[in-house]
Amino acid sequence: MSSYKSYPEKLFYPFKSNLDFTSGALEKGAKCWIRQLSEMIEIYDENNQSLILLESEDTIVYKVYEYEMPKEQGHLIPVTTILYPGRVGDQFFMTKGHYHEEKGTAEVYLIISGEGVLLMQTEKGDHKEIYFSKGALLYIPPFWAHRMVNVSNTDPLKFYGVYPANAGHDYDTIVSDGFRKKIVFDKNSPNNYKILKSQN
């Protein structure tokens, strides 16, 4: 077992990649995976869930490019996400949302293009909602769950992130407890959305 505090027996070598700012893809060796609506049904309001089952279960909500790094403290994981525009009823497309399993780990996002809202909350009841657009740098401190919401009707939201390789993802707590706030379409709002208290 290697330690981040001592020189490793097997040295990890530096590498260079490219971020395609048009597509949002990380090139050269990054793994790509997708999240479909069928994997996220339970995070939408109950009255909206039937809309997914009726017509759009296979729809791709977001695509992720990331490097498979050693899952050890000391390493960082670079990642890009393309979150497509769309809605389920009045709720915008969003990421599934998670706490880090290693709760004392942070994350940084840089917005490449698009606009949205970052929902954050803690297990103790704190919450914070931040609107952002291209160029925004978002800092998610340790202990804050996080979910990205695309509030555009037309444009993908593309963002680059970095997080500690030992962070891990706890999706289950969010699936069971939900987020305290939700972002819904509001045609009368200048930013196209409003923030409501969640049902659950």
What is the C-alpha to C-alpha distance for residues 55 and 53, in angstroms, rounded to an integer?
6
# residues near Fe ion by CB under 5 A: 1
By beta-carbon proximity to Fe ion, the closer residue of 103 and 180 is: 103
Indicate the residue among 51 and 106 with the shorter CB distance to Fe ion.
106
Bridge partners of residue 122, in order along the sequence: none
Least separation in angstroms between residue 61's CB and Fe ion is 17
User: Residue of minimal CB distance from Fe ion?
Assistant: 107
Contact 77, 104 (CB under 8 A): no
- Environment class of 18 (CB within 10 Å of its CB; exposed 0-12, middle 13-18, buried 19+): exposed
**Residue number with CB closer to Fe ion (147 or 184):** 147
Closer by beta carbon to Fe ion, 107 or else 115: 107
C-beta of 199: minimal distance to Fe ion in Å? 24
CB–CB of 83/58 below 8 Å? Answer: no
Build a one-symbol-per-residue string for 97-116: x at contacts with Fe ion by CB under 5 A, - elsewhere.
----------x---------
Contact 121, 128 (CB under 8 A): yes
Range 107-166, binding Fe ion (CB under 5 A): 107
Q: Does 95 bind Fe ion (CB under 5 A)?
A: no
To the nearest 10°, the Cα dihedral for 90, 93, 94, 96? 100
> Which residues here bind Fe ion, judged by CB under 5 A?
107
